Amino acid sequence: CKSDPCKNNGSCTNTGDDYECSCQAGYIGKTCSAIDYCVSNLCKNGASCRSLSGSFECKCLRNFYGRLCEISDYCKDVKPCLNEGVCKKKGDLDFECFCRAGFSGKNCKIEEFCLSSPCKHNGTCIQRREGYKCECNVPYIGWNCEVEDVCTHSNPCKNNAKCDVGADGKYYCQCTSVYEGPNCEFNKQCMESKCENKGVCYEKEDGGYFCRCLGHYSGSNCEKLDGNADVCSSAPCLNGGTCKVKESNSSSYDCTCKSGFFGNECHEKVNIYKMIKKYVMNCLYPLDPTTTDHCSSDPCMNGGQCTLNIHSDYKCECSNAYTGVNCEFENKCADEQLCSGRGKCTYVFPASFKCHCNGGYEGDRCEGVETACSKKPCKNDGTCQVDGALYKCLCKSPFTGSHCEKKGE
């Protein structure tokens, strides 16, 4: 013991030709140099502890397992089945989870998003670790294949225009510099030309236009009438209307329209709704019969601009914030955020509006996000309860079934 071989304050005792160390708590070994990791005895349920280099191990009694021998029933002690899954013990060291609808996996951890069939129009749902993906059939696109891609299906954009589909499912045409119109169907040259007297405008390959004149008209814009013809020879009155040359001016004419049509050339069809609206507005805001300048009375309200038309009537050009014959009604849709930026607003006569929500949103102002309960799947006054990507129906007596569709006896 003269060399003081016992470390960590261990006590040395001579044993003839050798020595023996009595170690302090927490140390073991011939010279008390090794740490005793079993000093705190972490092993449970009567297990024996064995100190290792830098660690320890527990030797469990029968029917116990786990690093500390702390587990006797894996299902009860560990509770491995998530999302209300039911656990069943398999042998001493294994288990099996029986998952409720909508979940799968060893621990019922994986949510089965495809169970609710979110992909529309026969799209294929592919389960992913954190959600799902829809593989859509042509011509459908969108997260849930809810948008018809008319650009791919029928391509309504003409004259080499680019077709794009928006989030609202509507298509938009990006016209080249020569064309315009919703489908880029109008050549700008023809729209800006002056083919008179029902002359038909045709575009030229060089970007210009020419007029094909009808009847007895000629000239670059069909502005010339042949000497022996009259203005009615080209049959300008449409929809069966009768043409009569004006006595005061042989280059002008009047059309007598058949019932159901009106306009200078009988080209407009009578719209009962518009007629009633016009008569109602004329009762509210009658025209002054003593003047032809109806703008002189400043009939346009809220900053509207008044212009006279060919019928000795007037028209109000309203700002975006107002609408109506005299700009007398507030246009609710002027507020771009009225539909929460998630839908399209349409004006409803006389002073209301309606929001048409984009896919995935709902509510009077598209303020809500669609859920599994949005389509009200529960029948017979059942209450729908959102459950992740799925839903549950809480039925009122005497109804039962997944959608409260069955009536009990």
**Between residues 21 and 369, the one the model is more confident about:** 21
| pLDDT tens by residue, 14-24 | 888 888 999 98
Whether 190 shows a pLDDT value over 80: the answer reads: no
**List of E strands, 249-388:** 253-256, 261-262, 268-269, 305-308, 314-317, 322-323, 329-330, 343-348, 352-357, 361-362, 368-369, 383-387
Domain made up of 371-409: CATH architecture: Ribbon (2.10)
Cβ 316 vs Cβ 306: under 8 Å: yes
Give residues with Cβ within 8 angstroms of 371, minimum separation 6: 386, 391
Q: Flag whether pLDDT at 286 surpasses 70.
A: no
Higher-confidence position of 358 and 398: 398
Read off the pLDDT of each residue in 288-305 and give the average, rounded to a whole number: 73
Token pair 């019969």 in the structure block, residue: 289
- For 153, the enclosing helix (H) or strand (E) is helix 150-153
Other Cβ atoms within 10 Å of 187 Cβ, number: 21
Q: What is the predicted pLDDT for the residue at 160?
A: 84
Encode pLDDT of 194-216 as tens digits: 678 777 776 665 666 777 777 67
**Class of domain 74-111 (CATH, top level):** mainly beta
Q: How far is CA 88 from CA 97, 101, 102, 193, in A?
A: 6, 17, 19, 83
Among 134-138, 171-175, 205-209, 375-379, the minimum mean pLDDT is found in 205-209
pLDDT surpasses 60 at 282: no
pLDDT exceeding 70 applies to what percent of the chain?
84
Structure tokens at 91: 């042998």
Mean pLDDT for the chain? 79
Domain spans in the chain, listed from the N-terminal domain onward:
74-111, 113-180, 371-409
For 88-120, give one letter per residue: b (16+ CB within 10 A) or e: eeeeeeebebebeebbbeebbbbbbbbbeebbb
Is 321 buried (19+), middle (13-18) or exposed (0-12) by CB count in 10 A?
Answer: middle
pLDDT for the residue 320:
81
Question: pLDDT band at residue 234, thresholds of 50, 70 and 90?
Answer: low
Is the pLDDT assigned to residue 291 strictly greater than 60? no
Q: Which fold has domain 113-180?
A: Laminin (2.10.25)
Give the per-residue pLDDT at 22.
92
* Rounded Cα gap, residues 74 and 95, in angstroms: 7
pLDDT digits (tens, 9 = 90+) for 100-149: 877 888 888 887 778 778 898 889 998 877 778 899 988 888 888 888 88
**Does 34 have pLDDT greater than 80?**
yes
- 67: Cβ contacts below 8 Å, ≥ 6 apart: 58
Sign of CA dihedral 160, 165, 171, 173: negative
Give mean pLDDT, residues 236-252. 80
DSSP-derived 3-state class of residue 280: helix
Query: Do 371-409 and 74-111 fall under one CATH topology?
Result: yes
pLDDT value, residue 322 = 82
